[in-house]
Structure 1
């Protein structure tokens, strides 16, 4: 017998926010509707428009019609093992993330509670953020300083992370230049302002140690993904040889892989809510990190659905040691959201409405389907 939370339909589609938008700028949306008309929204990682994950969702969508949406953890494990031979990292865990967030959105609306309350309650109602500023591998020192200064002054973030986004096939391409940019940014913001450096996997072990030593002298808080993410042994070696906190796991997709990188010696991990299992997956990561005494600082680049979901999880973490990530601000999505999360005085408010707490205009989403 159908109940208020019985799944009626699951839709998986891309949204283009601007005309002729390339796939990498589109969002990968999953919308779940129950027989009583409760609607939940989720999203997957938008790499290549998220089509790889949306294809997985479309494959299982019909099989979930008639299933209780409140059984989200059971559905997560069933589907993970159904598609396990696809990796399951990447496409599958992104698909399950989108579904899971949508089902948590439904659960919150059904019980008329924000998600963080259903997760056990929040330690905080506001979360500081750091401005994540990318593209600096291709900039000069002066251009890097200007890019950082613009975000620093306009957003007043609690911290700043300088991202390189360079060519991952070229290791140690310009170590002296990278250090010069790190020095210039430190000079801009002063000695005490919190800074982080995201290498985006561009160094060898030796190059990473050289840059890491410079960052230690400059007082940077953490050094993110200094070597290739798939070289877990090397990442652990760098982490253990440097005093600066080395972070990784943005490209880690299961709790088992997370434990591998922790066991290698990494003491700050950054799984992404729309890459590895959504709210259910990230809460599992929180438990793993708590048990191992490791900092959990999730990677998160999407400004609306994923951002709101991430804030709900961060609200529940007792030892929240670092700000939340805020990357590449844009208003292009605001037409589909009545109350998109907006930064204020270096913080985001945790949404307090039912479910994700977002008011989403589905008609606007449908107009932008691609």
Structure 2
């Protein structure tokens, strides 16, 4: 734990009588023995002199270690800062670390800190985050089951996996994800289409379906698959080509009738605008990858101004998931269900009120801050 003194950054200590930060911890939690890095959680914990604690989460890519290292580097300089100076803190840190690249590790670190500071502000004021954001249009949100790993499965295995999620969770929609080898484009287009067709037969003509290619097609391959998905009545076609090829993503979006979505791997608002200007009409930034709650609210404003759907990407069943629900509850035009990608209950031990789906919906917590009852002793027992 870092314990730098308050006088080290007097420019941040401006709110008279404020509840200032006393420590920031960045650590990885492993939930079960042998968990690979992607199954661990990258936590940020911020404590204040008044006894409040805020919790944030960074992207778990490679265990989140890259973002946690950035948090550890700037943590000492924030001791004594006022958590209500959140925008000043975030912008200062972004531009201090900008030469590391404004995407990836830095934005993941800032997202974790941002979520923790919103959690803190809500607890200090005694209000849930959605109230601080302007209020919730709804406090129960439908979700879609995001079913991954289908590139390596046979048709029958895909059907068994999808049916298990469909029957046990009763989601409002289902998305089938490929998670294949991105170095092999157009590897099995006919097989991919057959899997999509089989899932449509399984759930029936009227059930909402989506298809996530995870960046595995060329432009021509994506258009071929997209045409098949249109015939099968799929609602959206996610990241059909490499995410960094914005021009190609826009070309596919403009040549297909099915909605093409992208931007789960977009980390700045400027890059989000580039994707929209290319022609993508549904964007999916992730709250723990770019900007946290503040960043996702900025994305919502951009989408509203451009007439584009915002359907955030979200794979974490704990803090990131709940933070995402708070933001989604405040959106007037919430056109699609929230993503529920990881039904594993491995994280539930760390929360007194873990988020659980019920009748195809998640309820937005109403307690102060994020509303999660975090069990610190359980986190500390499992930290790496």
With normalisation by structure 2, the TM-score equals 0.95
Partner of 1:37: 51
Partner of 1:207: 221
Partner of 2:160: 146
Over the residues paired in the alignment, what is the CA RMSD in angstroms? 0.8
The answer to whether the 8 A contact 1:56-1:91 is kept is yes
Indicate whether 1:271 and 2:299 are aligned: no
Q: 1:101-123 CA distances to partner (integer Å, 9 max, x unpaired)?
A: 00000000011000000000011
Partner of 2:87: 73
Partner of 1:59: 73
Give the Cα–Cα distance (whole angstroms) in 2 for the partners of residues 334 and 262 of structure 1: 37
The answer to whether the 8 A contact 1:240-1:265 is kept is yes
Indicate whether 1:284 and 2:298 are aligned: yes
Q: 1:299-318 CA distances to partner (integer Å, 9 max, x unpaired)?
A: 00000100010000000111
- SS for the counterpart of 1:230 is coil
Partner of 1:84: 98
Question: Of the candidates 168, 180, 187, which is equivalent to residue 166 of structure 1?
Answer: 180
Partner of 2:149: 135
Partner of 1:237: 251
Give the Cα–Cα distance (whole angstroms) in 1 for the partners of residues 217 and 376 of structure 2: 44
Partner of 2:194: 180
Partner of 1:100: 114
Deviation (angstroms), 1:328 = 2.0
Q: 1:205-246 CA distances to partner (integer Å, 9 max, x unpaired)?
A: 000000000000000000000000000000000000000000
Indicate whether 1:326 and 2:337 are aligned: no
The answer to whether the 8 A contact 1:279-1:313 is kept is yes
State the aligned residue count: 370
Give the Cα–Cα distance (whole angstroms) in 2 for the partners of residues 277 and 209 of structure 1: 32
Partner of 1:254: 268
Partner of 2:9: none
Give the Cα–Cα distance (whole angstroms) in 2 for the partners of residues 358 and 110 of structure 1: 14
Deviation (angstroms), 1:23 = 1.5
Give the Cα–Cα distance (whole angstroms) in 1 for the partners of residues 321 and 193 of structure 2: 31
**Gaps spanning 5+ residues in structure 2: where?**
1-12
Give the Cα–Cα distance (whole angstroms) in 2 for the partners of residues 326 and 24 of structure 1: 16
Give the Cα–Cα distance (whole angstroms) in 1 for the partners of residues 364 and 52 of structure 2: 22
- SS for the counterpart of 1:128 is strand
Deviation (angstroms), 1:4 = 4.8
The answer to whether the 8 A contact 1:4-1:35 is kept is no
Partner of 1:225: 239
The answer to whether the 8 A contact 1:4-1:36 is kept is no
- SS for the counterpart of 1:127 is strand
Deviation (angstroms), 1:149 = 0.3
Question: Of the candidates 330, 342, 364, which is equivalent to residue 378 of structure 2?
Answer: 364
Indicate whether 1:351 and 2:357 are aligned: no
- SS for the counterpart of 1:132 is strand
Give the Cα–Cα distance (whole angstroms) in 2 for the partners of residues 334 and 3 of structure 1: 36
Q: Runs in 1 of length 4+ with deviation above 6 angstroms?
A: none
Partner of 1:307: 321
Give the Cα–Cα distance (whole angstroms) in 2 for the partners of residues 21 and 163 of structure 1: 22
Question: Of the candidates 119, 125, 128, which is equivalent to residue 114 of structure 1?
Answer: 128
